[in-house]
Amino acid sequence: MPARRLSYPYVEPLVAHQSQLDIELLAENNAHTWGFRSGKSLDEVCKIAGIDIEYSNRPNEIMLDVPPEKQPVIWLPRAGRKRDDRVIIATALGHWALHVDETRKANPGCGVQALYEPDCNKAREEANAFGLAFLMPTEEFVVSWQEGRSQAASDHFDVPTTTAYQRAQSLELGDAA
């Protein structure tokens, strides 16, 4: 469980101000770099990215903890469901890919903590957009969506149905609401 009183100063991730297209391309590039493809364990992806996964009882406010001198950790709820955990991990990877380096540069000596309920939702929205694109690549998602809408996409990508709807909305597919 994350420490209640940290031994280092921390900041929340800074907004990257990336377009949806740039986020999609970054997600695609990182999926390739980290060896991710549909059906592959996200534990393996995190290991390649250099991030540990730990479980915590509630209340746990921290999604991604990046201490100044230690290995980053994604904190998942101990009683979480696999499909929800996949979305949390992908969102945390979005913070890692989009925000951590720039936030560290702007705040030397500080750790970075992405929270489940952040002060600034824009960084979380960017990280979530990355996570959706990472888990559900555009072409593969569109085919799955056309085959059976949210249920087919949910089953194919092993994500909650609401997450499949979010991805459909981000791609402006019909009947996504």
Q: Which CATH class is domain 10-135?
A: mainly alpha
Phi-psi region of 26 (alpha: psi -120 to 50; beta: other; left: phi over 0): alpha
Structure tokens at 107: 């705040």
Distance CA 140, CA 166 (A): 15
pLDDT tens profile 83-115: 999 999 999 999 999 999 999 999 999 999 999
User: What is the reported pTM?
Assistant: 0.92
The C-alpha R_g of the chain, in whole angstroms, comes to 16
Q: Coil, strand, or helix at residue 117?
A: coil
Q: Domain ranges for the chain, please list them.
A: 10-135, 136-171
Residue 176 has pLDDT above 90, yes or no: no
Burial status of residue 146 (CB atoms within 10 A of its CB: 0-12, 13-18, 19 or more):
exposed
Residue 5 has pLDDT above 80, yes or no: no
